[in-house]
Amino acid sequence: MTIDELKQYCDNEFSNIDRIMHELFTVFKHEKAEYTLAEQAAISTYIMNTYSAVESILKQMLLYDKLDVGDAPGWHEKVLRKAGEIGILPPDLLHTISKYLSFRNYFIYTYMFNIKWEDMKPLVEGVKEMIEQIRAETSEYLQTI
């Protein structure tokens, strides 16, 4: 992959994130207090999709830098750890994104009705800021390679 292909890949993933965020905020409204299970399922899926896109961007950046992030057990955590180690993610953003990875892992292996809204709500409320930070850090990193 060339640097231009990597940049195009990241642009495409951020476009996907923008679409996901638009859909997420057609369902989630700050002033709304309660959500049906179907609405919570949609919100959960959008949060998980957003994290997956971020992870995909980070993985491609690490692969471009020829860092091993193979699909062995634990590769999801490895992507975040390596992105932090080489300076793509500052510690505070790494900590924030780790919460989304934890949610993703929980979401995949549980029934929707076991996910508590109070656990999901802070992720939804913080997702825009997290994406803005990821976008900025990705852009900055891509300028250095």
Segments making up each domain of the chain, as ranges: 3-27+34-144
Tens digits of per-residue pLDDT, 44-58?
A: 999 999 999 999 999
Under 8 Å between Cβ of 10 and 57: yes
Using pLDDT thresholds of 50, 70 and 90, give the confidence band for residue 25.
very high
CA distance 99 to 47: 11
**Residue 122 reports pLDDT greater than 80:** yes
Q: Catalogue the long-range contacts made by 79-82 (C-beta closer than 8 Å, 24 or more residues apart).
A: 79/55, 80/55
CA distance 65 to 130: 23
Average pLDDT over residues 34-45: 96
pLDDT, residue 67, reads 83
**Residue 65 reports pLDDT greater than 80:** yes
Q: Give the percent of the chain with pLDDT over 70.
A: 98
CATH topology of domain 3-27+34-144: Four Helix Bundle (Hemerythrin (Met), subunit A) (1.20.120)
Under 8 Å between Cβ of 51 and 101: yes
pLDDT, residue 75, reads 86
pLDDT, residue 121, reads 95
Using pLDDT thresholds of 50, 70 and 90, give the confidence band for residue 114.
very high
Look up the pTM and report it. Answer: 0.92
Average pLDDT over residues 36-40: 96
pLDDT, residue 40, reads 96
Average pLDDT over residues 24-49: 95
Angle at 132 between CA 128 and CA 34, to 5 degrees: 5
**Residue 71 reports pLDDT greater than 90:** no
Query: Taking all residues of the chain, what is their mean pLDDT, rounded to a whole number?
Result: 93
Q: Catalogue the long-range contacts made by 8-17 (C-beta closer than 8 Å, 24 or more residues apart).
A: 9/57, 9/60, 10/57, 10/60, 10/61, 10/138, 10/142, 13/53, 13/56, 13/57, 14/53, 14/57, 14/135, 14/138, 16/53, 17/50, 17/53, 17/54, 17/131
CA distance 40 to 113: 9
